[in-house]
Amino acid sequence: MRIRKNLLCVLLCACLLLPALGERGEVIIEQNLQEMDSDLPLKGKKIGIDPGHQLHADSTKEPIAPGSSETKARVAGGTRGVSTGKPEHVTNLEVALLLKELLEELGAEVLMTRETADVNVSNMERALMMNEWGADAVLRLHCNGNNVQSVHGMGMYIRKTGQAAEESERLARCLLNCMSRRTGAKAQGIYKRDTYTGLNWSTVPCVLVEMGYMTNPDEDKKLNDPLYQEQIVLGIAEALIDYFETPE
Ligand SMILES: [Zn+2]
């Protein structure tokens, strides 16, 4: 499925072109997309997408950070939808593929850590893949879980210190603002952690996006609704445009 063109128009109108275009906006945007490829808002940007988890967890250990003797499972199992019964890795990949399509429409170059379920790529390997590629920004897409079913909302997880920590925080702020506005989800906040292998090994701006709780019955249904997923990826795209347009 290709992202519908009108979705793209909505995005571009909302964040870039609306004031200047008025009623003829959609027509002009069509022309823009066809004729003015170089003006696409994410042209030249390299965006990494890491759909969290995979079909089978891998409990084999790997170092939690460069030079660290502490280890953690290569890939954890992830959560599961209480309403839908879907495993988290499936939802993460659905949103990731939708996001890839939209970001490419907006001119970005996209690298995915996985495009299918049955892979075995560790969190460290996913981070190294993005470092080597030289990503301008990396989004690690996850859904959250909690023993308390009423807990809901989206949160951004970033590294505490080290390379690209400040840029990651700025990206996380853009993501939390744009995504919660788009989806109406509760903005939980930005959390700095030194316990995530995939963040510790990253040398580029990197945010682990917890899109919502699959242990909350309503949020689980939303996270697996194609229309809500579209709002999630539009929010992410808006955040990236915001992030790249207003460098510190
Ligand atoms: Zn997860």
**pLDDT tens digits, one per residue of 112-159:** 999 999 999 999 999 999 999 999 999 999 999 999 999 999 999 999
Q: pLDDT by residue (tens digit) across 177-211?
A: 999 999 999 999 999 999 999 999 999 999 999 99
pLDDT of residue 24: 60
30 CA distance to ligand 1 centroid (A)?
37
102 CA distance to ligand 1 centroid (A)?
22
pLDDT of residue 246: 82
- Tell me the pLDDT band of 106, cut-offs 50, 70 and 90: very high
147 CA distance to ligand 1 centroid (A)?
15
Residue-averaged pLDDT of the chain: 90
93 CA distance to ligand 1 centroid (A)?
11
- Tell me the pLDDT band of 76, cut-offs 50, 70 and 90: very high
The matching CATH number, chosen from 1.10.3720.10, 3.40.50.1820, 3.40.630.40, 3.30.420.40, for 42-245 is: 3.40.630.40
182 CA distance to ligand 1 centroid (A)?
22
User: Where are the CATH 3.40.630.40 domain residues in the chain?
Assistant: 42-245
Q: pLDDT by residue (tens digit) across 26-62?
A: 665 565 555 556 789 999 999 999 999 999 999 999 9
85 CA distance to ligand 1 centroid (A)?
15
Own/partner contacts of 215-219, CB < 8 Å, gap of 24 or more, are 215/79, 215/82, 215/144, 215/145, 215/146, 215/147, 215/148, 215/149, 215/151, 216/82, 216/146, 216/149, 216/150, 216/151, 216/152, 217/82, 217/83, 217/149, 218/83, 218/152, 219/152, 219/153, 219/185
pLDDT of residue 39: 86
pLDDT of residue 10: 54
pLDDT of residue 148: 98
Percent of the chain with pLDDT over 90: 82
Residue 1 DSSP SS3: coil
pLDDT of residue 3: 52
pLDDT at 1 over 50: no
Residues that place a CB less than 5 A from ion ligand 1: 52, 78, 142
